[in-house]
Amino acid sequence: MSDAAAPRTVLHVDMDAFFVSVELLRRPELAGREVIVGHRGGRSVVLSASYECRRAGVRSAMPMTTAVRLAPRAVVLEPTMPAYRHYSARMMAIFRDITPVVEQVSVDEAFLDVTGSVRRLGGPLEIGALIRRRIRDELGLPASVGIARNKFVAKVASTRAKPDGLLRIAPEDTVAFLHTLPVAALWGVGAKTGEVLARAGISTVADLARTPASSLERMLGTQGTHLRALAWGMDERPVEPIREEKSIGAEETFARDSADTGHLRRELLRLAHRVAERLRAAGKETQTVALKLRYADFTTISRSRRLPQPSNSAVEIARAAEGLLDALGVRQQAVRLIGIRAEQLVPEGAGYQLTFDRSDGNWRQAEETMDKIRARFPAGAVRPASLLPPGSDRAAPQPRDG
């Protein structure tokens, strides 16, 4: 049978409590404990929670204050973003060894179309087991894999396989499997849509599938038609290997509102380094830098500035953002949130011009060296001296946590 005639086989690979799992690699003594990854502070949210914490009701995106109340004995760890990006890149490299048709959805999950890999690597279950084994052996991390004929069902299957499991839904079993699930399992059914459906007596996927399309359209408009198709296992979207990022950004919500210009400038430099590192990792440069500010009264403004030439240097990005901050002048309201976004992205080097100013090139070289150090030692804290905590001994090496 040719690949064109073979039934489509899609895998959804989702890492289990990814940020926590990466942190446990260097803190193995915390295995089996309640662990939360996130910034401490009244406005911070949970980025990741161990399954021990989840049994206590802690969930991602939950306010940290709520999470600590639910799991008072939990160990709260600050996130180590360079480490997460490092392991994510290695994970995606494993996927691309299996098939070139990989659609990365986020830092810790992806869809794989392995239809063309079956002849070389074996059946769908063998391929799923191979991926989980390689991630465990090469990275030391757990992963759950869902296998189905399309993206939607594969995603549902991986959710049902958690934690650290493998589940295949054969094409002929798709509808029967879906019809055992609550209606909230369908993509697009959130709290508001769920309330509308509940008022109509629809609580399961089977209920929705048996509801006439005209009734669903009256209740939900075109979304009703889409949900009914999913309820019958229909999802023809292809796995798309290339997802071009239109912009790259980072932002921070302060634990306490700040009107300190020095503090805001330091935060801009920190965010600029995060954005610039992601740009270089993606092989991109930005032509426009945007500044976002949210004040204490929740008023949000954004301003942007085009760079003289495309760049992925944190120094240049920070310089532009600081110029935008200065141009806004003094405002009575303190700042609640600050962010930087790189827009109008172009391939690295596409618009580069030679310059007699050596400083920009020196900064670029220093930042690329920092990237290499972080890639080799992802848990290390390599940063500009100006971002060290006040009172730090800048001449002394920083101790590693672990």
Annotated binding-site residue numbers for Mg(2+): 14, 108
Which ranges of 113-150 would DSSP assign to H, the alpha helix?
Answer: 118-121, 124-134
Residue 332, Ramachandran bin (φ over 0: left; ψ between -120 and 50: alpha; else beta): alpha
How far apart are the C-alpha atoms of 372 and 390, rounded to whole Å?
26
How far apart are the C-alpha atoms of 317 and 305, rounded to whole Å?
10
How far apart are the C-alpha atoms of 372 and 33, rounded to whole Å?
33
Single-letter residue type at 362: N
Residues 6+ apart with CB under 8 A from 16: 51, 141, 142, 143, 144, 162, 163, 164
* Look-up of token digits 């594969």: 154
Which pair of structure tokens corresponds to residue 159?
Answer: 């959710």
Single-letter residue type at 87: Y
Catalytic residue from among 109, 277, 285, 367: 109
In degrees rounded to 5, what are phi and psi of residue 291? Answer: -110, 135
Which pair of structure tokens corresponds to residue 286?
Answer: 């930005």
Say how many CA atoms lie within 13 Å of 120 toward its Cβ: 8
Q: Is 109 a catalytic residue?
A: yes
Contact of 47 with 58, CB cutoff 8 Å? no
What are the strands, taking DSSP E only, across 224-357? 247-258, 284-295, 300-311, 335-347
Quick one: which of 158, 15, 20, 149 has its CA closest to 94? 15
- The helix/strand/coil state of 69 is helix
How far apart are the C-alpha atoms of 221 and 217, rounded to whole Å?
4
Element spanning 143, H or E: strand 143-148
Long-range contacts of 279-282, Cβ-Cβ distance < 8 Å, separation of 24 or more: 279/248, 279/312, 279/342, 279/345, 279/348, 280/312, 280/348, 280/367, 280/368, 280/371, 281/85, 281/89, 281/371, 282/245, 282/248, 282/345
Which pair of structure tokens corresponds to residue 2?
Answer: 């040719």
Active site residues: 109
